[in-house]
Structure 1
Amino acid sequence: MRWLGWGSVLWIQLMLSSLAWGASVESMRIWRAPDSTRLVFDLSAPVEHSLFPLKNPDRLVIDLSGAEMSSAVSKLATDNTPVKQLRWAPRNGKDLRIVLDLNASVKPRSFLLKPNASYGHRLVLDLDDQQRSSVKTVEEVVAPGASRSADVIIAIDAGHGGEDPGAIGYRGLKEKEVVLKIARELAKLLEAEPGFKPVLVRTGDYYVGLRKRTQRAREANADLLVSIHADAFKDRKANGASVFAISQRGATSETARWLASSENSSDLIGGVGGVSLDDKDSVLAGVLLDLSMTASLSASLDAGSEVLKEVGQVNRLHKRRVEQAAFVVLKSPDIPSILVETGFITNPTDGKNLASDAHQKRLARSIFNGVKRYFTRTPPPGTYLAGHKRGNQQHHVIARGDTLSSIASRYRVSVASLRQHNKLDADLLRIGQVIQIP
């Protein structure tokens, strides 16, 4: 070893260090949701890990194989979370042990995430609150045989959230922030409208799993799920808004998933007072699910068409018809669901518009108008809107693309009766015009 210079010795020490520690924890982030907490460890490389709880007092231990804690890691703010404090130390000379001292018991889940456009390797730790959720089930809200709520319930899903920023575009604009603002504005409009009740799937900057989004809509007994997003594409020229419903292929695959999953066998299909699958044979269960998915898809396309017409009045449309894709958030078999892409956040013009409070409010208003028109025309039985429709003559507000023939077909009346009833001498209609349906 005498012939080795200090530079060589230093190089060997660095090599030995890299063999001892294959990865380092470079930073940590924590996000609080109403019923859970997400803790994210940013890693320099993937690691093997184990997780186990300890009692008296409550603690959670995470062991990372061949890892170390970077000296650059700053203290984590754990206020308003079940984590009292977080501490760590080397273990066995080559591993890292992280201990979470807890002030409340939690149900932990952990998983690794691969790098994406925003982050590198990550270890994600979800801490679900153990106490009973304040959200009531459908069975608790409405007992069997009871009449349903007088309000049409709209579940509003702002995409992404927490450590998932969604698309990032114009001047660092984050999709998660834009869509939450639009969702909150839409909720305000629905709250002020008689006969409607909004339910926000996420109310703050935290992440909600895709399946959990539809689950929360179901727990709220929603009549429609509206998921709000802002598109992104590698070509910055791509622009315009879109509305999506589930594809037939996606609906078919979801039917199979429900039938194959025992955890879904007792869920209600078709809303409150609907059909439970747990006492049905596989053939009948498949037929019931298929009918439910078909009905939900038809309603989704109808509601999506109304929203698309309205959005097209405040934003250029990327496609002039409701598109269909297998988005997970649209796959509820018993809730009509649409996904609104409010524009391309990666496009300079769309991005600038999406950053504007005024444009966000116009988009929210357009979604509201479309939703309102759909449910005014086809209100769920037993709702305020259904009773209002029976007590008043039906009318239709002219939207872009409407013609007398299309309106006649929609309401199953003749064009001649429309003309006569509204004293129309010609087929010329103007946007915003109100006509009575005979």
Structure 2
Amino acid sequence: MPTATLRRPRRRRRKRAPLLRLAAPILALVLLAGAFWIALARFSAQREDDPTKQARIVAIDAGHAGSDTGAIGVDGVRECDLTQATAQALWDLLEADPDIVPVMCRSDWDEDLPAADRAKRVARSDATLSLSIHMNSDGGSGQASGFECFPAPPGNQYNKNSLRFADFITAEMSAAGASLRGDGGVRYAYYDENDQRIIRERSDTNPEGYPSFAMVNSTGCASVLAEQCFITSESDLAAFASPEGCQLAARCYYRAIRQYYGLSPEPEESAS
């Protein structure tokens, strides 16, 4: 009896789509996604650079606190007491403002925290603006006076916006009666390899190659360090370091902050 020969059934050959036909839509999707991410990155960069489109989160730093008393002025007045009074007054103004969220760089007035650590705290806070408040001293001669502030210097990615903030501050302080030191009250500060301070006027836009104050150099946002007045000057002390003077300076900083973000100097309900 003849044996049947088993044959495998023939498989139908599937027609393969041409490679280009499959690749074309994939390539189009890749190009579209790439264009989208490039546009998104450009938009994010523009938004980050435009203060009027940023989250309004402001870090307030009292430059001295705890055992770090800072300078000693006329009649034994301590810098730390004045920076704290001004920072608290500014906090109160910002906390009452629904347009702005304030954050403090210290957990309390007795916290000893180096400037580098306070700068890191600002960087972690999502703040888009930082102000470090200080008082000035001339070593006791009583001859120096006036207001000056130090934005993030040339070469720092936040220099442009820091300078914008500094200009609003000096305009407000000048209107309040402060004399402005140097070139309109705005200067740059650096520390060389021997920790010696180098002061440059705002017109010197060449990066110095040295670090500035930690509170303007390492905060991750636009930052200004303000030297509110000379506490070794009796006239400065009366104008901007008395209880009323600290309130006045805080109001100047507050108005500058609002203008930095593109807001009116005062909220509409309190504008007069």
State the TM-score, normalized to the length of structure 2.
Answer: 0.65
Match of 1:241 among 137, 147, 152: 147
State the match for 1:232 in structure 2: 137
2:174 — aligned with what? Answer: 312
* Change in CA separation of 1:151 and 1:334 when aligned onto 2, cut-off 3 Å: closer
Contact 2:152 2:188 in 1 (8 A): yes
Shift of 1:329: 1.5
Is the 1:156–1:198 contact (alpha carbons within 8 Å) kept by the matching residues of 2? yes
2:175 alignment partner, SS class: coil
Per residue, is there more helix in 1 or in 2? 2
Would the alpha carbon gap of residues 246 and 312 (structure 1) be closer, same or farther in structure 2, given more than 3 Å must change?
same
Which among 190, 213, 219 is matched to residue 118 of structure 2? Answer: 213
Q: With CA pairs under 8 Å and 6+ residues apart, which has the higher RCO, 1 or 2?
A: 2
Match of 1:171 in 2: 75
Query: Larger Cα Rg: Structure 1 or Structure 2?
Result: 2
Tell me how far 1:206 sits from its aligned partner: 2.8
Alignment pair present for 1:341 and 2:247: no
Structure 1 residues 306 and 355, CA gap change in structure 2 (3 angstroms): closer
Q: Which runs of 5+ in 1 are unaligned?
A: 1-149, 252-292, 378-395, 398-433
1:300 and 2:162 matched: yes
Which residue is equivalent to 2:255? Answer: 369
CA distance in 2, matches of 1:173, 1:206: 20
Change (3 A) 1:226 1:333: closer
Say if 1:216 and 1:333 are closer, same or farther in 2 by CA, change over 3 A: closer
Q: What is the rounded CA distance, in whole Å, between the counterparts of 2:111 and 2:220 in structure 1?
A: 26
C-alpha displacement at 1:334, in angstroms? 2.6
Q: Percent identity?
A: 30
Question: Which has the larger strand fraction?
Answer: 1
Assess if the C-alpha contact under 8 Å between 2:120 and 2:219 holds in 1. Answer: no
- Over the aligned positions, Cα root-mean-square deviation in angstroms equals 2.6
SS in 2 for 1:312: helix
Aligned twin of 1:158: 62
Aligned pairs for 1:121-200 within 5 A: 152-200=56-104
Give the deviation of 1:333 after TM superposition: 6.3
Q: Distance in 1 between matches of 2:219 and 2:255?
A: 25
Letter aligned with residue 63 of structure 2: G
Which residue identity is paired with 2:61? D
User: TM-score scaled by structure 1?
Assistant: 0.41
Q: 1:329 aligns with which of 215, 224, 233?
A: 215
Any idea what SS the aligned residue of 1:226 has?
strand
CA distance in 1, matches of 2:92, 2:258: 14
Instruction: Render the CA deviation track for 1:289-310: whole Å, top value 9, x for unaligned.
Output: xxxx32x111100111011100
Measured in 1, the distance between the counterparts of 2:82 and 2:128 equals 24
* Deviation of the 1:200 alpha carbon: 1.1
Aligned length: 191
Question: Which secondary structure does the structure 2 equivalent of 1:207 belong to?
Answer: coil
Please say if residues 242 and 317 of structure 1, whose CA atoms lie closer than 8 Å, have aligned partners that are also in contact. Answer: yes
What CA deviation, in whole Å up to 9, does each residue of 1:239-295 have, x standing for no partner?
Answer: 0111111333xx5xxxxxxxxxxxxxxxxxxxxxxxxxxxxxxxxxxxxxxxxx32x
Task: Output the CA distance in 2 between the equivalents of 1:357 and 1:321.
Answer: 23
Amino acid in the other structure paired with 1:369:
R
Equivalent residue letter for 2:188:
Q
Do the aligned partners of 1:173 and 1:355 also contact (CA within 8 Å) in 2?
A: no
Distance 1:181 1:188 in 2: 11
Q: For 2:259, what is the secondary structure of its paired residue?
A: helix
Contact residue 162 and residue 207 of structure 1 kept, 8 A: yes
Distance, in Å, in 2 between the alignment partners of 1:179 and 1:344 is 12
Question: C-alpha displacement at 1:226, in angstroms?
Answer: 0.2
Contact 2:74–2:234 under 8 Å retained in 1? yes
- Checking the alignment, whether the CA contact within 8 Å between 1:170 and 1:352 is kept in structure 2 is no
In structure 2, distance between residues paired with 1:163 and 1:333: 23
- SS of 1:213's equivalent? helix
8 Å contact from structure 2 (residues 146, 236) kept in 1: yes
C-alpha change, 1:321 and 1:343, in structure 2 (3 Å) is closer
Quick check: 2:240–2:249 contact (8 Å CA) kept in 1? no
